[in-house]
Amino acid sequence: MFDLIIRNANLPDGRKSIDIGIKAGRIAAVERSIAAQAGEEIDASGRLVSPPFVDPHFHLDATLSLGKPRMNVSGTLLEGIALWGELRPIVTREELVERALRYCDLAVTQGLLHIRTHVDTSDPRLVTVEAMIEVREKVAPYIDLQLVAFPQDGYYRAEAGIEALGRALDMGVDVVGGIPHFERTMGEGTASVEALCRIAADRGLPVDMHCDETDDPLSRHIETLAAQTIRFGLEGRVAGSHLTSMHSMDNYYVSKLIPLMAEAKINVIANPLINIMLQGRHDTYPKRRGMTRVRELMEAGLNVAFGHDCVMDPWYSMGSGDMLEVGHMALHVAQMAGIEDKNRIFEALTVNSAKTMGLEGYGMAAGCHADLVVLQAADVQEALRLKPNRLVVLRRGKIIARTAPRIGELFLEGRPATIDGGRDFVPAV
Ligand SMILES: [Zn+2]
C-alpha cells in the first residue's frame, strides 16, 4: 500500500513517534503507528523528520567565487558590490554554471531543496541569466530554483538597467527584483519601486526587492513598497528582503509602518549572517546589529523568513549552505532563545520561506510532496543548537542523499559508538 514508510519520527510541531507513509511521491499517511508494511522502510528512531529547508534569498551567480578577481579588503557591502562589478564583465557562462551546480550539490546534502536566487541583470550580456536558466533546468529533479531579475547596479542607475531587466523577464526569469536604496536618490528609489511593481502586475509575477539594506533610519522604501503592493493588488506576492534600516528607525514611525506592511501582506526576509556582518559598519561603539525587527514583525502577524544570501562570494567569505547556521545566527541576533521562539525560528527556515516562495505541496501533511529530511537531532531545539547532519534527504519519496551520523552526537544521544582508530572512548573524570 505504501512505497516507503519512515517509522518513529519526531515532527517539527512536537508530535513524537510518528510513522509517515509515502506513496507515488506524496505523503499518504502521518499516523501514530502504521500497521501496513512497505517495500522500503527507514527507522528514524526518535529523530526529527522535517520538510526540507527553503532558502528564499540567495545569490547563486556569485557563490563560490571568493578571491576572484581579488579579496574584499574592507569587508563592506560597498566594496563587495564594486568587486562583483570587476568580476561580472569577465565571468563566463560555463564558470557560472559550474559554481552554481557545485553549490546545489552541497545544498542537497544539507536538506536544502528550494532556493530563490537573485540573478544580476546589470551586465547587458545577461550571461548570468542564461547560466541560471540552464542551472534551473539541470537541478529541477532535486531542487526547485526560482530566479529573481535583480538590477544590482540600480534599475535607473545602471546604464542599461531598465532594458536588461525587461529582457531577463522575457527570457523566463520568475520574479521582479529591485534595489531602491542603491538608486542615485531617494526619489529615484521611490520611482523604481513603483515602476517595478507595475511591471510585476502587468506580467503577473511576484516581487522580491533588496529593500533598505542600509543603517540609514530614513531609508523608507519599504513604506513605498507596501503602498504600491496595495495599489497594484499584489498582496501576498511581494517580499521585502533585508529591511535593515528598520533596525534603526524611530519607534513611532515603525508603529505606523508595521500595520501598513501587514495590510499589504509583505513577506519579510531577513538575512541574519549577512546583516550582522555588513551592518553597523560606520558605527564606533555601541555598534548596531542591523537585522530587521524580526520578533515585532512576527508578533504583528507578518510572514517572516530567513535567507542565507551569500556563501563564499565578494560579500561573505563564510557560509556552508546550512539553513540551520542561518537560524542559529538569527536566534542570537534577535535574542529569541525561548522554546516557542526557537519553534518560530525553525518555521522561518521552512514553512514561512515556502510561503514566501509560493511553493505548492510543501509540508508534512497527507497530500504534500514526500520531500523530507531526517536530522540527527531529537527535535527543533536540538537541531538549532547542534546544526546536525542530515542523515537522509528524500525528494518525491526517493532518497537523494545520505550522510553518516556524527560520532560526537551519537554519544550525546546515548547510542553505541566507537571512535575510528581503535581507542576505547573513556570520558575524562
Ligand atoms: Zn542579497
Domain with CATH 2.30.40.10 in the chain: 2-51+363-425
With beta carbons less than 8 A apart as the criterion, state whether 151 and 123 touch.
no
Does 420 score more than 80 pLDDT?
no
Centre of ligand 1 from the C-alpha of residue 75, in Å:
15
SS3 state at 224: helix
> DSSP states of 71-124 as a string?
--SS--HHHHHHHHHHHGGG--HHHHHHHHHHHHHHHHHTTEEEEEEEEE--ST
pLDDT tens-place string over residues 332-359: 999 999 999 999 999 999 999 999 999 9
pLDDT tens-place string over residues 17-39: 999 999 999 999 999 999 999 99
Instruction: Give mean pLDDT, residues 170-188.
Output: 98
Centre of ligand 1 from the C-alpha of residue 241, in Å:
7
Q: Identify residues whose C-beta is under 5 A from ligand 1, the ion.
A: 309
Centre of ligand 1 from the C-alpha of residue 401, in Å:
28
Alpha carbon 159 to its chain's center: 30
Domain with CATH 3.20.20.140 in the chain: 53-357
**CA dist 50 → 182, 321, 350, 360 (Å):** 38, 17, 9, 16
User: Residue 304 and residue 321: Cα distance in Å, rounded?
Assistant: 20
In the structure grid, which three cell numbers stand for residue 94, read together?
Answer: 560555463
CATH topology of domain 2-51+363-425: Urease, subunit C; domain 1 (2.30.40)
Quote the pTM value: 0.96
Centre of ligand 1 from the C-alpha of residue 85, in Å:
15
Centre of ligand 1 from the C-alpha of residue 319, in Å:
14
pLDDT at 396: 98
pLDDT tens-place string over residues 287-336: 999 999 999 999 999 999 999 999 999 999 999 999 999 999 999 999 99
Does 429 score more than 50 pLDDT?
no
Q: Does domain 53-357 have CATH number 3.20.20.140?
A: yes
pLDDT at 418: 64
DSSP designation for 10: E
pLDDT tens-place string over residues 215-257: 999 999 999 999 999 999 999 999 999 999 999 999 999 999 9
Q: Please give the mean pLDDT across all residues of the chain.
A: 95
pLDDT tens-place string over residues 107-165: 999 999 999 999 999 999 999 999 999 999 999 999 999 999 999 999 999 999 999 99
Report angle CA 242, 352, 192 to the nearest 5 degrees. Answer: 35
With beta carbons less than 8 A apart as the criterion, state whether 211 and 240 touch.
yes
| Residue 235 known to be catalytic | no
**Partners of residue 112 on adjacent β-strands:** 53
Catalytic entry in 41, 188, 194, 213: 213
pLDDT tens-place string over residues 57-66: 999 999 999 9
Instruction: Give mean pLDDT, residues 43-49.
Output: 97
User: Residue 165 and residue 325: Cα distance in Å, rounded?
Assistant: 32
User: Residue 80 and residue 277: Cα distance in Å, rounded?
Assistant: 12
pLDDT at 413: 83
Phi and psi at residue 267, to the nearest 5°: -85, 125
Centre of ligand 1 from the C-alpha of residue 307, in Å:
9
Q: How confident is the model at residue 415 (pLDDT cuts 50, 70, 90)?
A: confident
Centre of ligand 1 from the C-alpha of residue 323, in Å:
15
Question: Beta strand pairing status for 53-58 and 112-120?
Answer: parallel
With beta carbons less than 8 A apart as the criterion, state whether 369 and 396 touch.
yes
pLDDT at 416: 72
Centre of ligand 1 from the C-alpha of residue 71, in Å:
19
